[in-house]
Amino acid sequence: MKSIAVFCGSSAGASNVYIEEATNFGRELAKRNITLVYGGASVGVMGAVADTVLKEGGQVIGVMPRFLENREISHKKLSELIVVDTMHERKAKMADLAEGFVALPGGPGTLEEFFEIFTWAQLGIHQKPCGLLNINHYFDPLIELFNHMTNEQFLHEKYRSMALVDVKSDRLLDKFNAYEPPPVKTYLNEQQI
């Protein structure tokens, strides 16, 4: 795997552990020579991941809409900053550049980005791994929701298992390397497949 898009918060969160583990994740990306593709900000969890990859000698590509360039304080030391016009263009560009996708703790925007890319995987638009780095058990409620969706038959187990989850950066990236995408989603009765 040569590149991973990371979705995460532009805030630091309520606990120091979010920045500490984002730093560990950035270190692991650099160690494995994986290019970071992310939203381009210099603050919060986003900034911590990018700063660490850069400090460790890795490559970082930021993708930021023009209207957020000043608001999110674009990172000035990236390997490359791509400025686009819209949020839609940002997500499409990140999807094109990345060979996998990881969500670290963040707010609604982080979840929206993750869910869109996860849905695209389920529909067969891409066959790239999608994961959650479950720092401080932040995503436990979301994992429970995935389980509830599966139990209530709104999410088939073979698609539920596409959401790779771990609390450790190295183990999550190992899961990415071993990832095998399921067959493309259809609406045929499972007995007909």
Cβ(9)–Cβ(106) below 8 Å:
yes
Work out how many domains the chain is built from and give that number.
1
Q: Is 92 a member of any domain?
A: yes
In this structure, what CATH number is given to the domain that contains residue 19?
3.40.50.450
The DSSP string of 152-184 is: TTSS-HHHHTTEEEESSHHHHHHHHHH--PPPP
173: tokens are 């990236």
Percent of the chain surpassing pLDDT 70: 94
Whether 31 is in a domain gets the answer yes
Tell me how many helices (H) and strands (E) the chain has.
7, 7
| Residue 143 is assigned to a structural domain of this protein | no
Average pLDDT over residues 72-92: 92
Reported as a pLDDT band with limits 50, 70 and 90, residue 188 is low
Q: What is the mean pLDDT of residues 62-70?
A: 87
Q: In this predicted model, what pLDDT tens digit does every residue of 108-126 receive, in sequence order?
A: 999 999 999 999 999 899 9
In a domain, 119, yes or no: yes
46 in a structural domain: yes
- Token output for 77: 């030391």
Residue 142 counted as domain residue: no
List the one residue out of 171, 189, 186, 14 whose CA is nearest residue 105: 14
Q: What is the pLDDT of residue 192?
A: 43
Residues 14/18/19/22 CA torsion (nearest 10 deg)? -160
User: 42: which 2 tokens?
Assistant: 């210099």
Contacts 24+ apart (CB under 8 A), 75-78: 75/40, 75/41, 75/42, 75/47, 75/50, 76/42, 78/40, 78/50, 78/54
Residue 149 in any domain: the answer is no
Asked if residue 141 belongs to a domain, the reply is no
> What is the per-residue pLDDT across 151-180, written as a single tens digit (0 to 9) for each?
999 999 989 999 999 999 999 999 999 999
Residue 109: give the domain boundaries: 3-126
